[in-house]
């Protein structure tokens, strides 16, 4: 059957998780047989800005905790990764990617945009008469430096609204979850949650892909639940190889899902149905304590409407064609979650 217009990437098959989506990707997707899954984080800090640990110690934490890649994103500083990769990098196992958190502002609002794998340092710009104008100037500067932008923690300082994001050009990524304790993921004080902001933009026909990151600053306070610790959020990226350009290109295509602790075993999106399967998690440190986590799978469409909810590890949503888009949120019984990228239908 010929696929309806589904705006993500080409047919993908890798590591037991099968995806079929078609349409008008920004760049051609690799052949399905060449793709693999890589766990990574795109937002982390070191002593080179306001982190508490050296780049070596930071990289070591992620390598030791079975990540495949890490982007170092110090504020307005491009940390060199050549020596770090010489020490910690390993073909097909672990990679450090260049990055910068381009940190600017408008009046009292903090405006932060990550640059993924730029060719050079991107000086922050505060030029512009609105939040949107300042954001656009910095997005453009990141693109000029060969980097891929992603908008960070819009609700930090209540800085960035859906209207601010709606007119941005050449940006496809934003953080739907950030692990820093001060960023207001869930909204409040009359402000929408980041998921609500996402649905507002998607409902306007603006396709954005949602990242989860930890925004880690503190590696010496791992037991302090109020600190900005590592491991709070990450992405699972499907790419042909563990190489910086391939990883960043896959992220920009939307070939990933975001997670704070849920892992998918299968995901398929066709013209007629969206199906996913969760890899269940077994809890407990002793055999007598072990129990399986519970899961709720929620399919969401235009306006943030709940299209279907399923209790369990397997779910299928039958596409009707009028949803505008369909994305899924998978919630684990301890509150951990995962988010699939929106599939646009009916346009």
Q: Tell me: the pLDDT tens digits for 65-100?
A: 999 999 999 999 999 999 999 999 999 999 999 999
105/26: higher pLDDT: 105
- Report the distance separating Cα 63 and Cα 70, nearest Å: 9
pLDDT of 237 reads 97
Reading the block at residue 61, the tokens are: 């934490």
The answer to whether residue 20 scores a pLDDT higher than 70 is no
Reading the block at residue 321, the tokens are: 């064609």
**Tell me: the pLDDT tens digits for 26-51?**
455 565 557 899 999 999 999 999 99
pLDDT of 282 reads 78
pLDDT band at 152; cut points 50, 70, 90: very high
Q: How far is CA 235 from the centre of its chain?
A: 5
Distances (CA, A) of 127 to 121, 136, 178: 18, 10, 26
Reading the block at residue 122, the tokens are: 């991107």
235/24: higher pLDDT: 235
146/288: higher pLDDT: 146
Reading the block at residue 111, the tokens are: 């405006």
The answer to whether residue 193 scores a pLDDT higher than 60 is yes
Neighbour tally for 291: CB within 10 Å: 10
Distances (CA, A) of 260 to 37, 95, 127, 204, 334: 16, 21, 35, 27, 11
- Report the distance separating Cα 147 and Cα 139, nearest Å: 9
Average model confidence (pLDDT) across the chain: 90
Q: What is the DSSP letter of 156?
A: G
The answer to whether residue 11 scores a pLDDT higher than 70 is no
Reading the block at residue 232, the tokens are: 């709070």
Percent of the chain whose predicted confidence (pLDDT) is above 70: 88
Task: Render the burial of 329-343: b for 16+ CB within 10 Å, e for the rest.
Answer: bbbbeeebbbbbbbb
Q: Where are the domains of the chain?
A: 35-260
pLDDT band at 284; cut points 50, 70, 90: low
- Report the distance separating Cα 202 and Cα 118, nearest Å: 27
pLDDT of 32 reads 56
The answer to whether residue 23 scores a pLDDT higher than 50 is no
- Report the distance separating Cα 256 and Cα 234, nearest Å: 10
pLDDT of 213 reads 98
- Report the distance separating Cα 29 and Cα 9, nearest Å: 6
- Report the distance separating Cα 330 and Cα 179, nearest Å: 17
**Tell me: the pLDDT tens digits for 289-309?**
567 889 999 999 999 999 999
- Report the distance separating Cα 317 and Cα 305, nearest Å: 14
The answer to whether residue 14 scores a pLDDT higher than 60 is no
Contact 141, 102 (CB under 8 A): yes
Contact 296, 304 (CB under 8 A): no
Task: Render the burial of 29-62: b for 16+ CB within 10 Å, e for the rest.
Answer: bbebeebebbbbbbbbbbebbebbbebeebbbbb
The fourth-level CATH superfamily of domain 35-260 is: Metal-dependent hydrolases (3.20.20.140)
Q: Which of 14, 21, 12, 26 is nearest to 253 (CA)?
A: 26
pTM of the model: 0.90
**Tell me: the pLDDT tens digits for 212-226?**
999 999 999 998 988
The answer to whether residue 346 scores a pLDDT higher than 90 is no
The answer to whether residue 164 scores a pLDDT higher than 80 is yes
What SS3 class is residue 248? helix
The answer to whether residue 17 scores a pLDDT higher than 60 is no
- Report the distance separating Cα 50 and Cα 161, nearest Å: 26
């Amino acid at each position: 059957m010929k696929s309806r217009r589904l705006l993500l990437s080409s047919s993908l098959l890798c590591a037991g998780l099968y995806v079929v989506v078609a349409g008008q990707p920004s760049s051609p997707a690799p052949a399905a047989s060449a793709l693999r899954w890589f766990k990574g984080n795109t937002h982390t800090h070191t002593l080179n800005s306001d982190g508490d640990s050296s780049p070596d110690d930071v990289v070591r934490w992620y390598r030791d905790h079975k990540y495949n890649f890490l982007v170092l994103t110090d504020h307005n500083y491009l940390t060199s990764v050549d020596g770090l990769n010489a020490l910690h990098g390993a073909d097909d196992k672990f990679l450090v990617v260049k990055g910068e958190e381009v940190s600017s502002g408008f009046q009292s609002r903090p405006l932060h945009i990550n640059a993924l794998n730029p060719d050079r340092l991107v000086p922050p710009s505060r030029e512009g008469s609105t939040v949107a104008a300042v954001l656009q100037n910095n997005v453009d500067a990141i693109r000029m430096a060969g980097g891929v932008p992603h908008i960070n923690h819009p609700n930090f300082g209540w800085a960035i609204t859906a209207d601010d994001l709606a007119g941005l050009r050449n940006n496809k990524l934003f953080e739907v979850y950030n692990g820093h304790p001060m960023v207001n993921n869930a909204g409040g004080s009359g402000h929408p949650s980041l998921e609500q902001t996402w649905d507002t933009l998607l409902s306007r026909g603006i396709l954005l892909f949602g990242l989860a990151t930890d925004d880690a600053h503190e590696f010496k306070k791992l037991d302090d639940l109020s600190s900005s610790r590592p491991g709070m959020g990450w992405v699972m990226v499907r790419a042909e190889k563990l190489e910086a350009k391939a990883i960043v290109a896959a992220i920009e295509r939307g070939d990933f899902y975001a997670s704070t602790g849920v892992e998918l075993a299968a995901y398929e999106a066709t013209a007629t149905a969206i199906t996913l399967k969760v890899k269940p998690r077994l809890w407990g440190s002793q055999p007598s304590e072990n129990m399986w986590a519970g899961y709720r799978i929620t399919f969401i469409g235009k306006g943030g409407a709940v299209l279907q909810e399923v209790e369990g590890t397997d779910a299928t949503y039958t596409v009707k064609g009028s949803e505008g888009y369909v994305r899924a949120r998978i919630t684990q019984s301890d509150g951990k979650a995962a988010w699939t990228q929106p599939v646009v239908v009916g346009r």
